[in-house]
């Protein structure tokens, strides 16, 4: 009898662990200016500075989080506490958050982890309790790409190279259309950088048949020919 009870308990524990893993979510955090940071999550300190913090199979619910930033992009200087608060994680989700220039942790994207519908899902914040400490802001929106926030981030950068890097990082995680590529090119100063971005973005657009519309963004005919040749080489 004891052996049977012991076996049932072991099976129950295994089922519980399997369910917990199935419900786990993935979290990704970046700074608004892509500066290096150090993250402490639920009192566990991840000491290595990183420009993108990732953790997988995070249990759903509210998690305590502290974020320290470094003073520059070269990981030098004493870390400075930039955020202390909570983040709400829904079950079975991929969550992307940004620490804004106003030191708010903002959830900018939530996607189902195991199901990929046509449109991304969004969730109301999980908030069974009322805390006086900050909580990550979860926007309720039908559009997951948050392209307007990307443009706002790029506008605040001083150098074209930084703008292009941020735009490319965004495209690696998001599909984009020709009109949005055009909008990003308009935020750049130098023609060579516009051409570089246009070439890179071609692999990520949903409407390559409209890519010829980008020719109007260039000043020099040589840039138009260069992009046209590149498109034909990828066809």
Tens of pLDDT, residue by residue over 89-111, are 888 888 888 888 778 888 877 88
Give, as one character, the DSSP assignment of residue 208: G
pLDDT at 135: 54
Query: Quick check: 195 pLDDT over 50?
Result: yes
pLDDT attached to residue 124: 41
pLDDT tens digits for range 39-57: 999 999 988 898 889 999 9
* 123 confidence band (pLDDT: 50, 70, 90): very low
pLDDT of residue 20: 43
pLDDT of residue 52: 86
Q: Give pLDDT tens digits for 137-184.
A: 443 333 344 788 889 899 999 999 999 999 999 888 888 899 999 999
User: If you average pLDDT over every residue of the chain, what do you get?
Assistant: 78
For the stretch 129-135, contacts whose Cβ atoms lie closer than 8 Å and that sit 24 or more positions apart, written own/partner, are: 129/62, 131/85, 131/86, 133/84, 133/85, 133/86, 134/83, 134/84, 134/85, 134/86, 134/104, 134/105, 135/62, 135/85, 135/86, 135/87, 135/88
Residue 36 has pLDDT above 60, yes or no: yes
Q: Answer yes or no: is pLDDT of 15 > 50.
A: no
Q: Alpha-carbon distance 46 to 93, whole Å? A: 22
| Domain residue extents for the chain | 23-143, 147-234
Q: Quick one: pLDDT at residue 149?
A: 87
The residue that leads in pLDDT, 7 or 182, is: 182
């Amino acid at each position: 009898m004891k052996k049977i009870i012991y076996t049932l308990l072991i099976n129950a524990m295994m089922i519980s662990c399997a369910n917990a893993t199935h419900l786990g979510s993935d979290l990704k955090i970046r700074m608004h200016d892509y500066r290096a940071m150090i993250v402490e999550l639920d009192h566990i300190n991840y000491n290595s500075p990183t420009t993108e913090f990732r953790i997988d199979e995070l249990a759903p619910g509210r998690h305590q989080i502290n974020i320290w930033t470094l003073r520059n992009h070269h990981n030098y200087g004493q870390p400075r506490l930039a955020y202390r608060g909570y983040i709400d994680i829904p079950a079975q989700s991929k969550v992307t958050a940004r620490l804004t220039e106003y030191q708010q942790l903002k959830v900018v994207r939530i996607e189902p982890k195991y199901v990929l519908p046509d449109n991304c899902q969004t969730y109301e914040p999980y908030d069974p309790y009322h805390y006086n400490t900050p909580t990550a802001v979860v926007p309720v929106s039908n559009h997951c790409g948050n392209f307007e926030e990307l443009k706002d981030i790029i506008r605040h950068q001083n150098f074209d190279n930084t703008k292009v890097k941020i735009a490319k990082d965004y495209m690696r995680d998001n599909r984009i259309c020709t009109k949005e590529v055009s909008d990003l090119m308009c935020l750049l100063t130098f023609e060579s950088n516009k051409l570089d971005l246009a070439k890179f973005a071609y692999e990520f657009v949903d409407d390559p048949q409209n890519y010829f519309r980008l020719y109007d963004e260039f000043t020099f005919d040589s840039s138009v020919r260069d992009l046209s040749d590149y498109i034909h080489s990828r066809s």
